[in-house]
Chains A and B, each alone.
Chain A
C-alpha cells in the first residue's frame, strides 16, 4: 500500500551543511592559570591539583617535583602567591594550594617516594656553592639533567636559611632533613663544612665546567643607636642560626625585637619559646606597612607578642630603651615626632634585613656587587662566563620559593650553556583571568583550612604550629580548583550545542568541533565554565 503520508529517512538533514552560516568559529584553547603564573618556582599547580582530584597522589607529587624538589618544605614555608592570585576568590575563597602541597610532600616522605635517577649521564662536572634552597634546587635539576653535581656548603648542615633562618615551629627539621636526603640520594656529592676561598682555582683543580653560586644573604644589617659597653644587642640572623647549635641563645626575660619583617616575627616567637615573658616588636611604621605577612603577625599576636608600631629606638642604655614615636607623612614614610617613650628590655635583637657577604668574591674580578646584589643576566649567568648565580644573593626580593625557582632556571640555563646553547624560556599562554570564566557553574564550597596548635600551648615547645590536612580535606581542596583556562571535561560544550556539532571523544581525550554543522552561535564558548574556548572571526 502506498503510504498516505510523506516519509523521510531519519537524519537526512545531514546533507545540509549548516557550517556555511558561520561568521565566527569556536575553538578550544589553553590559557595560563593565575596560580601557575604567580608561582615563583614555576610549578604547574593546576595540573597537580587535577591529579590529586583524581586521587593520583604520587603522580601529583611527581608533577610538583618537576619544578620544585621540596614540596613538604614549601607546603610549610611558601608564602603562596598562587593563593593570592587564585580566581576562586570570585566564588568564595582561594583554593588552599599550599596545604595540599604540604599534604603531598608529607605523603611522599611517609611513602618513601624517591627521584628516579637521570636516564643518561652527560659526563660533565658542575659545582654548586651553598646548600640553601637555590643550591639544592639547582643541584636537583642539574642531577636530573644527567650532570655530576658537587655541592660545597660552609655550614655543618645543609639547608641554608631553611635551617638557619626558619624556626623549627614553622618547619620541622625531620621534614627538612628528609627532603635534603632525597635530593642527595640521587647521586649529588654534598660536602659540608667546606668554605670556598678561591673559586677560579677550585674550578680548575677539580675540573668543574660550570658553577652555580648560591651563598645567600647572611650578613645582618645593623643600625647605629647609642649603646653602652655591656648592653646586649644581637642580630636576628645570629640568633636564629644559634638556635641550631648546642647552646641556645640567652635572650633573657624581656626581649625587644627591632624591625617589621618576617625575621622580626621569627625571632620574637622564638624568644617566646625560649622562655621570654615579655616580647615586644618595635617597628617604625604601622601594621599596614609592615612587610611581614599578615598571617604571621596574627599568629604572633595570638602568642601574646606585643608590637609597638610607629616607633624607632633612639638609644639603648643599661636596660632602658628610649623610643621615639613616629608619624607617617603623605608618602607613607615615617617622620620623627620628637615625642619619646621609655621601655625596659634585657636585650635588643635587630631584624633589619640582610645583605650579601661580599668578602666571598674578593678574588674574583668579574663578581662585583651592584646595589647590594650580584648582577646576573636573563640566563642567570654572572659577568664571568660559566659562573651562574641565584637565590638571595641576586635579588632583593628574597624568599625560599623565589630561590627554588632560581635554582631551576639556572640549572636549565647551565645545561643549555654546557651544550653550547641558550636556555629558552617557553612561550606562555594568555592569562586565564576571572572575566574569562562562567562562574555560575561553580558552587560555593567552604575552604578546608589547616588547624593551628592552641596559642596557649604552642609557645611551650618548638613543635610545628600548623598541622597538615587530612586526606579527605586535601581531596576536597583540590576539587575546589576551577581549572581556569584549561578544559576539565565538564561536557558543557557538548551538551549545549543546539546543532549537535560537538563530538565527545571520551575520558581524557576532550572534544572535537564538527565545523560542517557548527553555525557559530557561541553558546559553547559562553557556557564554558573555565574559559578554555574562544571565538575567532572566520576568514572569508
Chain B
C-alpha cells in the first residue's frame, strides 16, 4: 500500500518531506494531526504502543473526518493513558473491561446507528492480551456478525503492565515472568500461541492487515483503507516494548524494522479472507539480527548446541512466513 513517491530519493521512507505538498505526506508529518494521544501519558520511555496508538487513531480520525469514537480494552494502553483523574486522550474514548472491548464497540456502533449518527465511526483497540486471550470470544463474535468496527490490536507479545506474563501472542523462546529462562527448554515453548491476523481472515471479514512502526506511510495507508470499508475490520500492529522485551528505548523502531526484514512479522493485507498484498523484503536479514538485541531472547545466545537448534527453529518460522506470503522481492518492488 506504499504510496508512490519516487519524486525524491531522500523522502520516500521518511515521515514527511519538505518538497512535497502536505496532502501527499503522512498524517504524522502534518502540523494539524489531532494528537489523539497527547503528552503527559505515563508510558515508558520509547513505548511502541503509545506511538502506534497515536499513528493509528490520528489516521483514523482523519479518515473519519473527526467523527470517531474509540473503545479501549484494559491493558497497558488504557492504564498509562488514563490514570485517574487524568486522560491523555483527545478523542471520544471509552473503557469498560479487559475482555469486552469488541462487544462494547459493537454496542456503541449500534447506538450511533439508532440515534441517526451513522457517520460516527467506531474504533476498538487493545493489547495482545485482551485481543488474543481474554477478549477473543467477544472479538470472534464481532467478526462473525460483521459489526461495523475497526478493531486494532497493538501486539507487544505479552502482558506488559502486570509484569510481563506470557500471552498467546508471545513468540517461542521468549522469556517472560511465566515462561522463565530456565530448564532445558528455556522461555516460551514452540508449538503454542495463535496467529490473530490469520484467525481474523478465517472469519471472512472485509479487511485484515498487519502493520509495523517501521513504515508510517504503510501503516497509515492501511488505516485509511480499513476505514473505507464498512463491517468488521482488523488491524494488527507490532509494537515493541522496551521493558518487556529488554532493549534500550531508542531501538523501538529499529526492532520494528528488523522484525519485518527477517520475516518474523510479515506485512500484508487481506480482503474477504484472501491476501491481496504483501510488503516485499529485498534482503532478508537473519532472525538473529532481530532477536539478539532483546534480552527476552538472551537464552538463545548462550552458545551451546541445543540453543543453536532453537535458533534454527526460529529461522524456520521466518522462512515459512517468507514462503507463505511470497515476501522475497527484487530491486524493483522491495523496500
Q: Which residues of A contact B (CB under 8 A)?
A: 5-6, 8-18, 21, 53-54, 440-445, 479-483, 488-492, 494-501, 504, 506-508, 514, 516-517, 519-523, 525-527, 529
Contact = CB atoms under 8 A, between A and B. Distances in A.
Contacts of A501: 39
A442 B8 CA distance: 10
Nearest to A501: B39
12 contacts: A6-B84, A9-B87, A10-B87, A16-B40, A440-B257, A442-B13, A490-B11, A494-B16, A498-B48, A522-B249, A523-B249, A525-B250
Interface in B12-67: 12-19, 25-26, 28-29, 31, 35, 37-43, 45-48, 50-51, 54-55
B303 interface: no
Contacts of A13: 38-41, 81, 86-88
Given A519-B46, A523-B46, 16 more contacts: A13-B38, A14-B38, A15-B40, A441-B14, A443-B9, A443-B12, A480-B9, A490-B11, A490-B18, A491-B25, A491-B26, A495-B216, A498-B252, A499-B39, A522-B45, A526-B251
Given A498-B46, A504-B31, A522-B249, A441 B40 contact: no
A437 to B, nearest CB: 12
Most chain A CB within 10 A, of B9, B48, B88, B89, is at B9
A54 B8 CA distance: 11
Contact of A523 (B81, B253, B331): B253
A497 B252 CA distance: 11
B220 to A, nearest CB: 10
A517 B29 contact: no
B10 A14 contact: no
A500 B9 contact: no
A521 B45 CA distance: 5
A529 B9 CA distance: 12
Contact of A488 (B13, B18, B257): B18
B172 to A, nearest CB: 27
B84 A496 contact: no
Interface of B: 8-19, 25-26, 28-29, 31, 35, 37-43, 45-48, 50-51, 54-55, 81-82, 84-91, 94, 216, 242, 248-254, 257, 331
B10 A500 contact: no
Nearest to B94: A5
B205 to A, nearest CB: 29
A54 B9 CA distance: 14
B257 A489 contact: no
A514 B252 CA distance: 21
A514 to B, nearest CB: 7
B279 to A, nearest CB: 14
B40 A495 contact: no
A526 B13 contact: no
Contacts of B29: 491, 494-495, 504
A495 B331 contact: no
Contacts of A494: 15-16, 28-29
Contact of B42 (A18, A443, A506, A508): A18
Nearest to A18: B40
A8 B11 contact: no
Most chain B CB within 10 A, of A13, A53, A522, is at A13
A523 B41 CA distance: 17
A497 B15 CA distance: 12
Contacts of B251: 526
B38 to A, nearest CB: 5
A120 B252 CA distance: 56
A507 B14 CA distance: 16
A483 B10 CA distance: 9
A11 B31 contact: no
A521 B48 CA distance: 11
Contacts of B249: 521-523
Contacts of B26: 491, 495
Contacts of B47: 498, 521
A523 B51 CA distance: 11
Contacts of B15: 490-492, 494-496
Contact of B331 (A444, A481, A483): A444
A440 B252 CA distance: 15
Contact of A10 (B39, B90, B257): B90
Contacts of B18: 488-490, 507-508
A480 B47 CA distance: 33
B16 A495 contact: yes
Most chain B CB within 10 A, of A16, A21, A480, A496, is at A496
A12 B87 contact: yes
B208 to A, nearest CB: 25
B40 A14 contact: yes
A443 B252 CA distance: 21
A482 B16 contact: no
Given A8-B86, A491-B25, A491-B29, A529 B14 contact: yes
Given A8-B82, A21-B45, A517-B39, A480 B10 contact: yes
B232 to A, nearest CB: 25
Contacts of B54: 498, 500
A514 B39 contact: yes
B10 A521 contact: no
Contacts of A491: 14-17, 25-26, 28-29
Closest 6 CB pairs of A and B: A491-B16, A13-B40, A522-B250, A495-B15, A445-B9, A521-B46
A10 B15 CA distance: 27
A520 B254 CA distance: 17
B89 A490 contact: no
B10 A11 contact: no
Most chain A CB within 10 A, of B13, B14, B42, B254, is at B14
A150 B208 CA distance: 77
Given A11-B90, A13-B41, A498-B47, A441 B253 contact: no
A479 B8 contact: yes
Nearest to A22: B45
A441 B12 CA distance: 8
Nearest to B35: A500
Contacts of A527: 253
Most chain A CB within 10 A, of B39, B43, B47, is at B39
Contacts of B87: 8-13
Contacts of B46: 498, 519, 521-523
B39 A441 contact: no
A385 to B, nearest CB: 50
A490 B55 CA distance: 17
B10 A479 contact: yes
A178 B287 CA distance: 60
Contacts of B48: 498
